[in-house]
Structure 1
Amino acid sequence: MKRAAILLISILAFGINVYGNEESGPVLVPQIFGQWWQVAGSPMEHEYATEKQQPVDFAVWQAADGTWQLWSCIRNTTAGGRGGDTRFFYRWEGKNLTDIDWKPMGIAMEGDPSFGEAPGGLQAPHVVKIGKTYHMFYGDWMNICQATSKDGKIFKRLIRDNGRTGMFNEGVGEHARDPMILKVGESYHCYYTAHSMRSPATNHRGVNYCRTSSDLRNWSPSKVVAEGSAYAKGPYCAECPYVVYIPESRQYFLFNTQRYGRRQHATVFRSADPLSFGINDNSLEVTTLPVAAPEIILHNGRYYIASLMPSLKGIQIARLKWVQKSN
């Protein structure tokens, strides 16, 4: 499940930092400030529409023309046909980040089996701008894939030498998904989640992994950076990992999601090391938030948070503040 932006687009999720050479700053925690505003709903004007469909994991970013883009994975549709995985990417566009009801723009991308992608299997887009190129990372039901764009609206898949889009995965049944990119020093960190079905020791818990790269094409072996949750069990307890660096705190913050829907819930962890947020241990937890699949957006010096709506019928945005944690 689980998904960028100028949003972190200009500084890649607030990265470009080297860890381990600074003392920790004040203990800050994210706090939702003010009211939410809805930017997207559950569009029925497409060929795969069903009453049960839900817009879920998503990305928000600013295109080259200044407009705001939102792509969401819509699930529980007829996409992929019989036996397909029901998902595709739908697109909205807004003039301003603070506007309500962005304009629906239609289907943006579908899984393409000719490139090794599962029919109806697209999941969790994430977009960053590097130089003059927009890079979209997404899941295809098994692999983490990439596409690029010059205008931030029309994306072209990056095809590997084997004719497929998949860059890496965690093996059959692990369901690698929800990628996001953070630049740390000269290295790009790709965080994502998977089921961790291989080892009985994990009890099939959700696991957050990270791989690193200097060129966004060749990736290191995976490293577990967070595993399990005090708030949920099973393979979906660490969805949509999202990591940001907050300079005032000199710390990295990992958001991951335990529940979607009416009781939506995400945990926030704090660490000086972007590769270590706790293995079956919540000692680095700083707070929880009533959000699902959140993205953190920095725009004109202000932080925002985007989240699924509790109804799972749309996507909403609110202001976000970083406040000193009280004892």
Structure 2
Amino acid sequence: MHPISRRGLLRAAGAGALVLPLAGRTAPAASADATGPHPWVGAGPFTHVYDPSTTRRRYLNDHTLVRAGDRWHLFSIVGDSAPPGQAPDSAAEVSLAHASASSPAGPWSSQPDALTVDPSYFGEEHLWAPHVVESGGVHWMFYAAGGRTGAAINAATSTSADLSTWTRLPSGPLFRGTAARDPMVLRIGAEWVMYYTELSAPGGHHQVCYRRSTDLLTWGDGGVAFADAATAADGVSVTESPFVVARDGWYHLFLGPRNGYEGTDVLASRDPFRFSLDDRAGHVPGHAVEVVTDGQQWWASAAGWFRRGLYLAPLDWRSTPPPWQSPDNPVAAPDVRGRLNVLALDAADRSMLRRVQTDPDTDTWSDWEVFGTPAGAVPALGRNTDGRLEVFSLAPDGANLHHRIQRTDGSWTDWEVFGGPAGAAPAVARNADGRLEVFAPAPDGALLARRRQTSPGSTTWDDWDPDFSGPVGAPPVVAANADGRLEVFVLAPGGTALLHRWQTSAGGAWSAWEHFGTPAGAAPRVSRDGTGRLNVTAIAPSGTAAFHRRQSVPNGGWDAWQPLLGWSTAAPLTIAGADGRLEALTLSPGGERLAHRWQSAPAGTWAPADVSGEDFGEPGLPLAGTPSAAADSTGRLHVFAVTEDGRLRTRVQDRPSGGWRPWAAFGDRPVAALRPVAALRPGAPMP
């Protein structure tokens, strides 16, 4: 039987090692008397610390970091990069790269490959996901291999001081499985425990399994530590890169890809053999995340198909959940005078910044001004019936939401506490009767709360309704139907499904929650086209493709999901132009390709037919996230995008519903990129 390949599973993750300051250190068992809530996990910005490229551009993927003596060693899948927006062929991953450094932050020196594929060794066809541990002066490398006789977990050993020489076990694979890959080994008490990914059966559920050993050579029967709702029959792989950290009586399972290709969720448990989506403990915005400590600082490392090598970020063990980021960065909307307002966060201290379009005809803008104190996420905007804007901001620690209201003369009230705690800036929409409604998740996503104005344009609000929804896996999105009825869309925890709920009458009661789609990789987006129909976009669990679904008629039911664009970091942005045609933009993982499609007519077919779309971005300027967009008072669309290094760029239609001018700088003040990569400079100093 042929093993299930990375490509066949839309393989998008890796496994590796918990590296502690002393070789062979044992992770403690969970203490029986440990009490209190689990720690939460977040990460600072990732910095590029090692590029394996020489004469051609190369990537690293599943990797491991280990210290031997006074040197750190990196072992990793390595391969030739594909063109931007395309995935490489995982079947060509046939060697394991090796590099060494004096610290995880580098500088890293390339070494000869540690292993190359050996078809004569029990049918090896690929080399994936190395993981290294030390025991009794011998380093053991576990890796995923296999071939026509089935997926296998293999091992090689090294006694060389520089870990340059590796010898495969003459006895062959440690064990085989349906799709066994991504081994990670942790010492717990007197045993070694191997975590790896597997399927419950061919076409079955994705799982994180475990086996136990006392000698690293003989492994017991497999057990299931985590079972995912997704199956291989869904055509996606959403349970990869298992990595377990034992710390302070808790076990934290890092698992990806979640929230797109470049995302890793964290689950916490007292029991190292039982994890659940109910035990969410954070998110790290990187791919194939490993956890490493030098004894003083904890780090998250990441690598993947769409990046150039190894990235490192400070890992943050915290008492509160890290906030979700807003879907739009920056956020833009016309104000009471019809002028576009653009709000972003300062790159240095995350204070809120604002620019105003002073003349739409000449497209001139004010300078940046400080509009608010540091925030935990880009704010959200609501627009009252008379055009007055209302800004909703998340406190840095999620303790409260704040808001600020525009007056009819264009001035603004002071900031006021709006409520909380909250896990993200809220979704905002205007009800059929003109009242603004906001929807905000709790910091841990355990519930979704709703609040609305007491009357249209009022400065007073009803109390929060905390029972609008149970657990959510991402911030909600909301839009108004053509008849004014609001409709809310959410991602279920772990991306297991999309759900929606709508008002059954204008300004009235709400329906029950219903399934709106199968597993998805991130929060959806929603917009309304020129015919009044709602359109929803979403991505596959690993970000391999983007899809859209629209109402069959305004206010009515829904057509089937249809493909829209290729690899995507998040659900594509869609926005209607002056003639009602939707424009769609999606950013590929790695940020180097911004794909663009548009409707030939309102609610019509999409052009071009090729789902790769037209490249709408700037060569050599990778973006930090999917752009945002807004229409000005002339009807022209403005697209705003933040580059990886925090430069804000804009592209504007030359006329309503027309072509596009070239990209241009949008002010000279750096803004927060809010992306996993803070710099693309190998060997850059750590923040």
Per-residue CA deviations over 1:245-300 (Å, capped at 9, x if unaligned) read 112xx11000011259x75111100000000012xxx1111222211111111113
The answer to whether structure 1 residue 118 and structure 2 residue 124 are counterparts is yes
Per-residue CA deviations over 1:293-313 (Å, capped at 9, x if unaligned) read 111111132211101268332
Q: Which amino acid aligns with 1:175?
A: A
Where 1:283 maps in the other structure, the secondary structure is helix
Corresponding residue of 2:101: 94
> Are the structure 2 counterparts of residues 15 and 228 from structure 1 closer, same or farther at C-alpha, using a change threshold of 3 Å?
farther
Corresponding residue of 2:190: 186
Please provide the CA RMSD for this pair: 3.0
> Are the structure 2 counterparts of residues 153 and 229 from structure 1 closer, same or farther at C-alpha, using a change threshold of 3 Å?
farther
Equivalent residues in 2 for 1:170-319 (5 A)?
170=177, 174-198=178-202, 204-228=204-228, 234=235, 236-247=237-248, 250-258=249-257, 263-278=261-276, 282-308=277-303, 311-319=306-314
> Are the structure 2 counterparts of residues 310 and 109 from structure 1 closer, same or farther at C-alpha, using a change threshold of 3 Å?
closer
Per-residue CA deviations over 1:54-107 (Å, capped at 9, x if unaligned) read 32101111223x122111102468xxxxx964431111221222234x122232
Give the Cα–Cα distance (whole angstroms) in 2 for the partners of residues 156 and 309 of structure 1. 24
Corresponding residue of 2:49: 39
The answer to whether structure 1 residue 144 and structure 2 residue 153 are counterparts is yes
The answer to whether structure 1 residue 54 and structure 2 residue 65 are counterparts is no
Q: Which amino acid aligns with 2:124?
A: A
Q: Which amino acid aligns with 2:239?
A: A
Asked if 2 retains the 8 angstrom alpha-carbon contact of 1:177 and 1:193, the reply is yes
Give the Cα–Cα distance (whole angstroms) in 2 for the partners of residues 306 and 289 of structure 1. 10
Corresponding residue of 2:340: none
> Are the structure 2 counterparts of residues 209 and 76 from structure 1 closer, same or farther at C-alpha, using a change threshold of 3 Å?
farther
- How many residues are matched? 297
The answer to whether structure 1 residue 72 and structure 2 residue 76 are counterparts is yes
Where 2:244 maps in the other structure, the secondary structure is strand
Asked if 1 retains the 8 angstrom alpha-carbon contact of 2:244 and 2:253, the reply is yes
Asked if 2 retains the 8 angstrom alpha-carbon contact of 1:160 and 1:167, the reply is no
Give the Cα–Cα distance (whole angstroms) in 2 for the partners of residues 305 and 244 of structure 1. 12
Where 1:113 maps in the other structure, the secondary structure is coil
**Structure 1 residue ranges without an equivalent (≥5):** 78-82
Q: Which amino acid aligns with 1:149?
A: S
Per-residue CA deviations over 1:226-253 (Å, capped at 9, x if unaligned) read 12168x9655211110001112xx1100
Please state how far the C-alpha of 1:148 moved relative to its aligned partner: 1.5
> Are the structure 2 counterparts of residues 11 and 108 from structure 1 closer, same or farther at C-alpha, using a change threshold of 3 Å?
closer
Q: Which has the bigger relative contact order, CA under 8 A and spacing at least 6?
A: 1
Q: Which amino acid aligns with 1:139?
A: A
Corresponding residue of 1:24: 35
Please state how far the C-alpha of 1:214 moved relative to its aligned partner: 0.8
Asked if 1 retains the 8 angstrom alpha-carbon contact of 2:42 and 2:282, the reply is no
Equivalent residues in 2 for 1:127-166 (5 A)?
127-141=132-146, 142-150=151-159, 151-161=161-171, 164=172, 166=173
> Are the structure 2 counterparts of residues 104 and 287 from structure 1 closer, same or farther at C-alpha, using a change threshold of 3 Å?
same
TM-score scaled by structure 1? 0.80
Q: Which amino acid aligns with 1:159?
A: L
Give the Cα–Cα distance (whole angstroms) in 2 for the partners of residues 86 and 244 of structure 1. 27
Q: Which amino acid aligns with 2:206?
A: G
**Structure 2 residue ranges without an equivalent (≥5):** 1-12, 82-89, 322-442, 444-687
Q: Which amino acid aligns with 2:129?
A: A
Asked if 2 retains the 8 angstrom alpha-carbon contact of 1:205 and 1:236, the reply is no
Please state how far the C-alpha of 1:42 moved relative to its aligned partner: 4.1
Q: Which amino acid aligns with 1:180?
A: M
Corresponding residue of 1:80: none
Please state how far the C-alpha of 1:182 moved relative to its aligned partner: 0.9
The answer to whether structure 1 residue 10 and structure 2 residue 12 are counterparts is no
> Are the structure 2 counterparts of residues 205 and 5 from structure 1 closer, same or farther at C-alpha, using a change threshold of 3 Å?
closer
> Are the structure 2 counterparts of residues 268 and 70 from structure 1 closer, same or farther at C-alpha, using a change threshold of 3 Å?
same
Where 2:120 maps in the other structure, the secondary structure is helix
Give the Cα–Cα distance (whole angstroms) in 1 for the partners of residues 144 and 33 of structure 2. 35
Asked if 1 retains the 8 angstrom alpha-carbon contact of 2:63 and 2:75, the reply is yes
Give the Cα–Cα distance (whole angstroms) in 2 for the partners of residues 4 and 125 of structure 1. 6
> Are the structure 2 counterparts of residues 309 and 258 from structure 1 closer, same or farther at C-alpha, using a change threshold of 3 Å?
closer
Give the Cα–Cα distance (whole angstroms) in 1 for the partners of residues 312 and 102 of structure 2. 14
> Are the structure 2 counterparts of residues 9 and 20 from structure 1 closer, same or farther at C-alpha, using a change threshold of 3 Å?
same
Give the Cα–Cα distance (whole angstroms) in 1 for the partners of residues 116 and 305 of structure 2. 26
Asked if 1 retains the 8 angstrom alpha-carbon contact of 2:53 and 2:59, the reply is no
Corresponding residue of 1:324: 319
Sequence identity of aligned pairs in percent?
24
Please state how far the C-alpha of 1:112 moved relative to its aligned partner: 1.0
Q: Which amino acid aligns with 2:116?
A: E
> Are the structure 2 counterparts of residues 169 and 25 from structure 1 closer, same or farther at C-alpha, using a change threshold of 3 Å?
farther
Give the Cα–Cα distance (whole angstroms) in 1 for the partners of residues 164 and 109 of structure 2. 16
Please state how far the C-alpha of 1:20 moved relative to its aligned partner: 6.5
Where 2:278 maps in the other structure, the secondary structure is coil
> Are the structure 2 counterparts of residues 180 and 127 from structure 1 closer, same or farther at C-alpha, using a change threshold of 3 Å?
same
Give the Cα–Cα distance (whole angstroms) in 1 for the partners of residues 71 and 187 of structure 2. 24
Per-residue CA deviations over 1:103-125 (Å, capped at 9, x if unaligned) read 22232211112211423x00011
Please state how far the C-alpha of 1:23 moved relative to its aligned partner: 2.9
Give the Cα–Cα distance (whole angstroms) in 2 for the partners of residues 68 and 11 of structure 1. 11
Asked if 1 retains the 8 angstrom alpha-carbon contact of 2:257 and 2:288, the reply is no
Asked if 2 retains the 8 angstrom alpha-carbon contact of 1:76 and 1:87, the reply is no
Give the Cα–Cα distance (whole angstroms) in 2 for the partners of residues 118 and 9 of structure 1. 33
Give the Cα–Cα distance (whole angstroms) in 2 for the partners of residues 133 and 238 of structure 1. 31
Asked if 1 retains the 8 angstrom alpha-carbon contact of 2:287 and 2:303, the reply is yes
Where 2:265 maps in the other structure, the secondary structure is strand
> Are the structure 2 counterparts of residues 159 and 7 from structure 1 closer, same or farther at C-alpha, using a change threshold of 3 Å?
closer
Please state how far the C-alpha of 1:208 moved relative to its aligned partner: 0.7
Asked if 2 retains the 8 angstrom alpha-carbon contact of 1:27 and 1:325, the reply is no
Where 2:251 maps in the other structure, the secondary structure is strand
Please state how far the C-alpha of 1:217 moved relative to its aligned partner: 1.0
Give the Cα–Cα distance (whole angstroms) in 2 for the partners of residues 132 and 11 of structure 1. 9
> Are the structure 2 counterparts of residues 37 and 309 from structure 1 closer, same or farther at C-alpha, using a change threshold of 3 Å?
farther
Asked if 1 retains the 8 angstrom alpha-carbon contact of 2:66 and 2:132, the reply is yes
